[in-house]
Amino acid sequence: TVFATAEDGTRPILTGVLVETGEGMLNMVALDGYRVALRKSDIESQLSDKVVIPGKTLNEINRIMDGGEDEKVQISLTDNHALFTVNNTKLVSRLLEGEFINYNQIIPKEFKSRIKIETKQLLDSIERASLLGKEGRNNLVKFTITDEKMIINSNSELGNVHEEIEIELEGDDLQIAFNSRYFIEALRVVDDDVIYLEFTTNLSPGIIKPISNDNTIHLILPVRLASY
């Protein structure tokens, strides 16, 4: 989730990741005002706590870990610090102070449009559509969603991109636009081969979640469509 932390220090609390524990569960939440990344995991603890760990610390933990599936991280907390033990390495970090945003109030509970789509196919299409936008003035992708397909468009001063993907749609047709970088970064960390995209309106947040479980949720705010 650390990729969704704020990059500037205007609101220091958002440069960190909220870590919540309780009843054998661990929730990790990051948000920057434009997106939310939530990941839930089972842990070997029944203690309840809530702290905010700097994103730079978690990036360092990721660097230390060797990527093994059974690799575990032990976390010990005090009032002001967190101690991480990974393999034979220990890392101490100061916790961030402040009130984290109530993310549960941000995540929609209902949807009017739900798409079932292959993760890699969507990621590849958005990456291709964003190639021109990265050097152009905008980095937007527009989704036009109908019963059997989703059209992905990207327009910039360098050219236009048009892609079509077969989908399964439950609910209403929709046109909506997003910052392509936010979608790409979320899709790259999704483990499932197939995902749901859920929408309410073209001005409401879009949700990315795996179809197999609700342990991972990505929320992204749309960009208002004008003459695009």
Domain CATH number, residue 71: 3.10.150.10
Consecutive 10-residue averages of pLDDT for the chain (228 residues):
88 95 90 95 83 94 75 86 90 95 93 97 93 65 94 83 94 96 95 96 96 93 78
What pLDDT, on a 0 to 100 scale, did the predictor assign at position 159? Answer: 76
Tokens of 211: 């179809």
H or E element: which one contains 153?
strand 149-156
Cα gap 214→182, rounded to integer Å: 20
In a domain, 185, yes or no: yes
Residue 184 shares a structural domain with residue 133 = yes
What pLDDT, on a 0 to 100 scale, did the predictor assign at position 80? Answer: 93
Residue 50 shares a structural domain with residue 119 = no
Examine the fold and report which residue of 49, 76, 105 is the final residue of a domain before the chain moves on: 105
**C-beta of residue 5 within 8 angstroms of C-beta of residue 43:** no
What pLDDT, on a 0 to 100 scale, did the predictor assign at position 136? Answer: 46
What is the reported pTM? 0.89
Task: Give the contacts of 224 (CB within 8 A, at least 6 positions apart).
Answer: 177, 203
H helix runs in the chain, sequence order: 55-64, 119-135, 180-187
In a domain, 226, yes or no: no
First vs last Cα of the chain: how many Å apart?
31
